[in-house]
């Protein structure tokens, strides 16, 4: 038999849509002021670090993690004020839960629907799992309403496509805005399938669908602790009716959240108030950064209820490169979705980081 190279074997065995994918690119960030990934810029306070270190020293690393960590779930319920009759399902980050949901409803021909531009993992995971994907454009050229839901187009798409699964990021990433509550409610009510309201940015937003879970049999709320200071732990969860969660539990890999993330998250949630104070600080600094960006004539900044700001500037890629040369890493959205041409996204950092970003940006807009 002639020898077969790994590359030709991979090309003959892999699914076409996987060969066509581009890997999710995470740029190196060592040495930069890192304002590209919606992380909380504040480290865990020292006293709490010591407490965590002591607990980690006692952890049973030789054992599999608790597959149903009741104490951790209780802390989560307490922290978010989850109604008693609702359940919690834990994920290795909420990305894993998007994948689990897609696998669960993926009958032949099943459709996943979201809006565009939104969180790219919805479409990527539809591709991974072989689901049909439909993206309904958000409004553009509507002035202050830019990036809000096109309700009539979304309702028409739902009637036409009958999606098994709908994702709405609330607030939306990468645009930062919180969709109209009433429009989201109408979409849930009109959907024949499951609607997941993705509240990754809940700590920075003025509204939530958690109190409305009981109103809809087809609603789940997904959250993550990544944006609240635990991105390194990888912990997300679905909240909703136990009728749904008991079924979805069957698909969860039994040990998807490790011993250390469980333990550290539990400790951190005992000090949830510390994290919420950091979120309050970030909201204040977001308001300041929004004002400052708004004062630059060459920049259009969009309102945000998240821990980042989307803004548009001519020659965005040159602006991005100029910032990078000055040691500031943000996210360049130019060249991605057509509705995001010349768009950049900056995560709100510490006051000092924000200032260094603004100084660099002003310098670039003045001289380049």
What's the rounded Cα separation, in Å, for the pair 12 and 3? 15
Among 88, 102, 112, 169, binds ligand PLP (CB under 6 A): 169
Least distance in angstroms from the C-beta of 170 to ligand PLP: 9
Q: Does 119 bind ligand PLP (CB under 6 A)?
A: yes
Among 236, 240, 261, 322, binds ligand PLP (CB under 6 A): 236
Least distance in angstroms from the C-beta of 58 to ligand PLP: 27
The region, left, alpha or beta by phi > 0 then psi within -120 to 50, assigned to residue 276 is: alpha
**Is-contact 56 212, C-beta < 8 A?**
no
> Binding mask 26-45 vs ligand PLP (x if CB under 6 A, - otherwise)?
------------x-------
Query: Of 1, 72, 87, 50, nearest to 270 (Cα)?
Result: 72
What's the rounded Cα separation, in Å, for the pair 80 and 54? 26
Q: Element (H or E) spanning 353, and its range?
A: helix 351-367
Q: Does 226 bind ligand PLP (CB under 6 A)?
A: yes
Q: Please say which residue, 173 or 177, places its beta carbon nearer to ligand PLP.
A: 173
Query: Of 229, 203, 220, nearest to 306 (Cα)?
Result: 203
What's the rounded Cα separation, in Å, for the pair 191 and 165? 9
Among 148, 224, 256, 332, binds ligand PLP (CB under 6 A): 224
Q: Please say which residue, 330 or 364, places its beta carbon nearer to ligand PLP.
A: 330
Least distance in angstroms from the C-beta of 174 to ligand PLP: 8
Among 40, 99, 148, 173, binds ligand PLP (CB under 6 A): 173
**Tokens linked to 282:** 């970030």
Instruction: Tell me the HSE value of 165 on the side-chain side, using a 13 A CA sphere.
Output: 27
Of 89-97, 153-161, 256-264, 312-320, which segment contacts ligand PLP by CB under 6 A?
89-97
What's the rounded Cα separation, in Å, for the pair 241 and 264? 27
Least distance in angstroms from the C-beta of 82 to ligand PLP: 18
Among 151, 200, 228, 348, binds ligand PLP (CB under 6 A): 200
Q: Does 208 bind ligand PLP (CB under 6 A)?
A: no
Among 39, 44, 76, 94, binds ligand PLP (CB under 6 A): 94
Number of residues that bind ligand PLP (CB under 6 A): 12
Least distance in angstroms from the C-beta of 230 to ligand PLP: 9
Least distance in angstroms from the C-beta of 180 to ligand PLP: 17
179-184 long-range Cβ contacts below 8 angstroms, 24+ apart: 179/148, 179/149, 180/148, 180/149, 180/151, 181/207, 183/148, 183/149, 183/151, 183/154, 184/149, 184/209
Burial 79-96 (b: 16+ CB within 10 A, else e): bbebeeebbbbbbbbbbb
Among 36, 198, 285, 305, binds ligand PLP (CB under 6 A): 198
Residues 6+ apart with CB under 8 A from 71: 266
Q: Does 347 bind ligand PLP (CB under 6 A)?
A: no
Of 64-72, 87-95, 105-113, 148-156, which segment contacts ligand PLP by CB under 6 A?
87-95
Q: Does 93 bind ligand PLP (CB under 6 A)?
A: yes
Distance linking the first and last C-alpha atoms of the chain:
61
**Is-contact 329 323, C-beta < 8 A?**
yes
Least distance in angstroms from the C-beta of 235 to ligand PLP: 7
Among 36, 39, 95, 161, binds ligand PLP (CB under 6 A): 95
Q: Among residue numbers 7 through 26, which ones bind ligand PLP (CB under 6 A)?
A: none
Q: Please say which residue, 169 or 245, places its beta carbon nearer to ligand PLP.
A: 169
- Residues forming contacts to ligand PLP in the complex (CB under 6 A) are 38, 93-95, 119, 169, 173, 198, 200, 224, 226, 236
């Amino acid at each position: 038999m002639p020898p077969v190279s790994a590359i030709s074997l991979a090309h003959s065995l892999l699914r076409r849509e996987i060969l066509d994918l581009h890997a999710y690119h995470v740029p190196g960030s060592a040495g930069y002021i890192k304002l590209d990934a919606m992380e909380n810029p504040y480290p865990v306070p020292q006293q709490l670090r010591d407490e965590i270190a002591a607990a980690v020293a006692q952890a049973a690393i030789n054992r599999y993690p608790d597959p149903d960590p009741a104490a951790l779930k209780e802390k989560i319920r307490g922290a978010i004020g989850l109604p008693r009759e609702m359940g919690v399902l834990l994920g290795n980050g909420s990305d894993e839960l998007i994948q689990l949901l897609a696998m669960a409803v993926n009958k032949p021909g099943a459709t996943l629907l979201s809006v565009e531009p939104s969180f790219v993992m919805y479409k990527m995971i539809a591709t991974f799992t072989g689901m049909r994907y439909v993206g309904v454009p958000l409004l553009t050229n509507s002035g202050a309403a830019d990036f809000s839901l096109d309700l009539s187009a979304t309702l028409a798409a739902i009637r036409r496509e009958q999606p098994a699964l709908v994702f709405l990021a609330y607030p939306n990433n990468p645009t930062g805005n919180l969709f109209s509550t009433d429009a989201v409610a109408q979409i849930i009510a009109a959907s024949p399938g499951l609607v997941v309201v993705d509240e990754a940015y809940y700590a920075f937003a003025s509204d939530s669908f958690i109190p409305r879970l009981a109103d809809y049999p087809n609603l789940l709320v997904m959250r993550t602790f990544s944006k609240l200071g635990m991105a390194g732990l990888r912990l997300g969860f679905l909240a909703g009716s136990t009728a749904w969660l008991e079924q979805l539990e069957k698909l969860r890999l039994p040990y998807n959240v490790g011993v250390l993330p469980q333990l550290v998250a539990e400790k951190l949630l005992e000090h949830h108030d510390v994290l919420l104070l950091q979120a309050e600080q970030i909201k204040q600094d977001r308001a300041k950064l929004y004002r400052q960006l708004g004062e630059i004539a060459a920049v259009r900044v969009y309102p945000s209820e998240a821990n980042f700001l989307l803004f548009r500037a001519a020659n965005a890629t040159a602006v991005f490169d100029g910032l990078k040369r000055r040691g500031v890493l943000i996210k360049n959205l130019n060249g991605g979705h057509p509705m995001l041409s010349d768009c950049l996204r900056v995560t709100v950092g510490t006051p000092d980081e924000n200032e260094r970003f603004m100084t660099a940006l002003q310098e670039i807009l003045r001289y380049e």
